């Protein structure tokens, strides 16, 4: 159904797309998540979320993908655009957030937009322009050791200075009550970004109340819950048609929380396969071997994970070996996902943004309905092309210690 889509979301990775979709569903919207913008048929939904792999790619490739998403949005008659990035931002000097934000402001011909990476329900907040994770400045949190995007600063204007050609202005709560004052002052510099305080759900509502008519918003998923206009519908959850007793958990994340989730799952007596990095590099590990173990463990669900989750990532060199190992591990888990699908598994749970991208690309589904939410920002995805499959894509730090157990339950 063309022309009725209120919001188009560009997500910088696959876990971010499912994260964004879950909050829009919570707000009462009918949502379709796309992983490919080519050949899209008319969509009967309120919001469309496009999952792209633009967080850790060269800038030219990121812009190419964003251009394709904007082309789709124009064809669908999308009213507003939301650029969704990680709630812990991207604090590398060569990060793409500023580059993409600049491009979107120019392509949509808007004078300014917001930077709202907050997600209070998961402990991500902004105060006086500084980004916090569970009360700690970003660069002092465990995220400072992220293997691909180490967090070197927490002051958002500093982070954007390395990535963007436009200035950032901090917007405190008092100025938010009279937003035109802050906007009028900033407009003297041309295009710009505003970074509002965002520590609570009330702050999120206040931000959208102060800026209800922007054509472009940017941020984490938190703000999406407060977009109005869903017609008074309650949470719109799609249900799978399949049997999810045959399931597998594929964890490519090396985050602290993923480690705790793995340990909790194993301590309950559930089966596991730990991938030895040295053996993987030596070619001594393959998907066929692991899949045989997964099958032997049925009806119990096996968690497959890398020994990297047990290591201190701050001491790991990001060298050629690290890159090769990451690529091998992503391919291994993608191979496993394909084998489980061919064997009739009804549920695949994936942890880690890069791994989720590799698995989603391998499964080759292009559109998803949004199912039940396992944890804030982590819904089940049901492929439009295969309504018998449930797929969960989890950002490494999302969910509590019982996430894997909860993901196997069918309770809402």
- Taking only the tens place, the pLDDT of each residue in 8-49 is 999 998 889 999 999 998 888 889 999 989 877 777 888 999
Q: Read off the CATH number of the domain in which 153 is found.
A: 3.40.50.10840
18 and 61, same structural domain? yes
Looking at residue 395, its pLDDT comes to 83
184 and 270, same structural domain? no
326 and 197, same structural domain? no
282 and 341, same structural domain? yes
Strands 216-219 and 80-84, bridge-based pairing: parallel
> Per mean pLDDT, which range of 37-51, 141-155, 314-328, 392-406 is the poorest?
141-155
Q: Read off the CATH number of the domain in which 318 is found.
A: 3.40.980.20
Please state the rounded mean pLDDT for residues 280-304: 95
Which residue range forms the structural domain that includes residue 274?
247-408
Do the domain assignments include residue 242?
no
Would you say residue 2 has pLDDT above 50? no
Share of the chain above pLDDT 90, in %: 59
Pick the residue with more confidence: 242 or 289? Answer: 289
339 and 209, same structural domain? no
- Taking only the tens place, the pLDDT of each residue in 335-374 is 999 999 999 999 999 998 889 889 998 999 999 999 988 9
Share of the chain above pLDDT 70, in %: 91
- Taking only the tens place, the pLDDT of each residue in 191-207 is 999 999 999 999 999 99
Looking at residue 38, its pLDDT comes to 84
Final residue of a structural domain among 194, 226, 258: 226
User: Quick one: pLDDT band at residue 326, thresholds 50, 70, 90?
Assistant: confident
SS3 string, the chain, reads CCCCCCEEEEECCHHHHHHHHHHHHHCCCCEEEECCCCCCCCCCCCEEEEECCCCCCCHHHHHHHHHHHHHHHHHHCCCEEEEECCCCCCCCCCCCHHHHHHHHHHHHCCCEEECECCEHHHCEEEECCEEEECCEEHHHCHHHHCCCCCCCCCEHHHHHHCCCCCCEEEECHHHHCCHHHHHHHHHHHCCEEEEECECCHHHHHHHHHHCCCCCEEEECCHHHHHCCCCCCCCCCCCCCCCCCCCEEEEECCCCHHHHHHHHHHHHCCCCEEEECHHHHHCCCCCHHHHHHHHHHHCCCCEEEEEHHHHCCHHHCCCCHHHHHHHHHHHHHHHHHHHHHHHCCCCEEEEECHHHHHHHHHHHCCCEEEEEEEEECCEEEEEECCCCCCEEEEECCCCCCCCHHHHHHCCCC
Q: What is the dihedral of CA 213, 215, 218, 221, to 10 degrees?
A: 70
Do the domain assignments include residue 232?
no
- β-partners of residue 369 are 382
Looking at residue 145, its pLDDT comes to 57
Would you say residue 124 has pLDDT above 50? yes
User: Quick one: pLDDT band at residue 181, thresholds 50, 70, 90?
Assistant: confident
Please state the rounded mean pLDDT for residues 374-385: 91
Do the domain assignments include residue 237?
no
Rounded distance between C-alpha atoms, residue 180 and residue 177, angstroms = 9
How high does pLDDT run on average in the chain?
Answer: 87
Rounded distance between C-alpha atoms, residue 136 and residue 122, angstroms = 13
Would you say residue 185 has pLDDT above 90? no
φ, ψ of residue 9 in degrees (nearest 5):
-110, 130
211 and 64, same structural domain? yes
Please state the rounded mean pLDDT for residues 253-260: 88
Would you say residue 412 has pLDDT above 80? no
Buried b (16+ CB within 10 A) or exposed e, 57-96: eebeebbebbebbbebbeebebebbbbbbbbbbbbbeebb
Contact 113, 193 (CB under 8 A): yes
Instruction: Please count the structural domains in the chain.
Output: 2
User: Quick one: pLDDT band at residue 1, thresholds 50, 70, 90?
Assistant: very low
User: Quick one: pLDDT band at residue 3, thresholds 50, 70, 90?
Assistant: very low
- β-partners of residue 1 are none
338 and 306, same structural domain? yes
Do the domain assignments include residue 2?
no
210 and 133, same structural domain? yes
Other C-beta atoms lying within 10 Å of the C-beta of residue 258: 26
pTM: 0.86
Looking at residue 271, its pLDDT comes to 97
Do the domain assignments include residue 296?
yes
Looking at residue 143, its pLDDT comes to 58
Do the domain assignments include residue 198?
yes
Please state the rounded mean pLDDT for residues 280-301: 95
Final residue of a structural domain among 226, 260, 282: 226
Looking at residue 303, its pLDDT comes to 97
Do the domain assignments include residue 19?
yes
* 326, burial (CB in 10 Å: exposed 0-12, middle 13-18, buried 19+): buried
297 and 253, same structural domain? yes
77 and 18, same structural domain? yes
Do the domain assignments include residue 233?
no
88 and 215, same structural domain? yes
Final residue of a structural domain among 172, 197, 226: 226
367 and 287, same structural domain? yes
């Amino acid at each position: 159904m063309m022309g009725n889509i209120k919001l188009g979301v560009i997500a910088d990775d696959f876990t971010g797309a499912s994260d964004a979709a879950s909050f829009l569903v919570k707000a009462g919207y009918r949502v379709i998540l796309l992983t490919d913008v080519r050949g899209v048929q008319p969509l009967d939904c309120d919001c469309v979320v496009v999952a792209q792999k633009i967080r850790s790619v060269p800038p030219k490739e990121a812009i190419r993908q964003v251009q394709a998403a904007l082309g789709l949005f124009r064809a669908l008659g999308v009213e507003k655009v939301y650029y969704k990035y990680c709630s812990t931002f991207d604090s590398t000097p060569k990060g793409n957030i500023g580059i993409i934000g600049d491009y979107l402001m120019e392509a949509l011909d808007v004078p300014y937009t917001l930077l709202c990476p907050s997600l209070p329900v998961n402990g991500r907040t902004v105060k006086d322009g500084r980004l916090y994770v569970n009360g700690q400045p970003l660069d002092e949190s465990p995220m400072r050791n992220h293997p691909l995007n180490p967090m070197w600063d927490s002051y958002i204007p500093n982070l954007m200075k390395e990535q963007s050609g436009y200035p950032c202005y901090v917007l405190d709560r008092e100025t938010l009550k009279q937003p035109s004052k802050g906007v009028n002052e900033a407009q003297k510099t041309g295009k710009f970004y505003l970074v509002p305080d965002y520590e609570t759900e009330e702050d999120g509502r206040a931000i959208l109340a102060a800026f209800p008519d922007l054509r472009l918003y940017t941020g984490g998923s938190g703000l999406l819950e407060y977009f109005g206009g869903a017609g008074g519908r309650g949470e719109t959850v799609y249900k799978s048609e399949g049997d999810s007793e045959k399931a597998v958990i594929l964890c490519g994340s090396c985050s602290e929380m993923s480690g705790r989730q793995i340990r909790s799952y194993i301590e309950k007596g559930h089966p596991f396969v730990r991938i030895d990095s040295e053996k993987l590099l030596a070619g001594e590990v393959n998907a066929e071997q692991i899949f045989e173990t997964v099958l032997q463990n049925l009806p119990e669900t096996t968690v497959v994970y890398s020994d990297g989750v047990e290591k201190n990532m701050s001491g790991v060199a990001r060298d050629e070996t690290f890159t090769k190992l990451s690529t091998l591990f992503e391919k291994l888990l993608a191979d496993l996902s394909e084998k489980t699908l061919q064997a009739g598994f009804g549920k695949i749970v994936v942890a880690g943004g890069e791994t989720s991208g590799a698995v989603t690309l391998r499964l080759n589904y292009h559109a998803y309905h949004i199912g039940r939410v396992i944890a804030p920002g982590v819904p089940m995805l049901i492929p439009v092309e295969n309504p018998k499959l449930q797929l969960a894509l989890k950002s490494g730090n999302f969910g509590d210690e019982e996430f894997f157990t909860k993901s196997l339950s069918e309770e809402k």
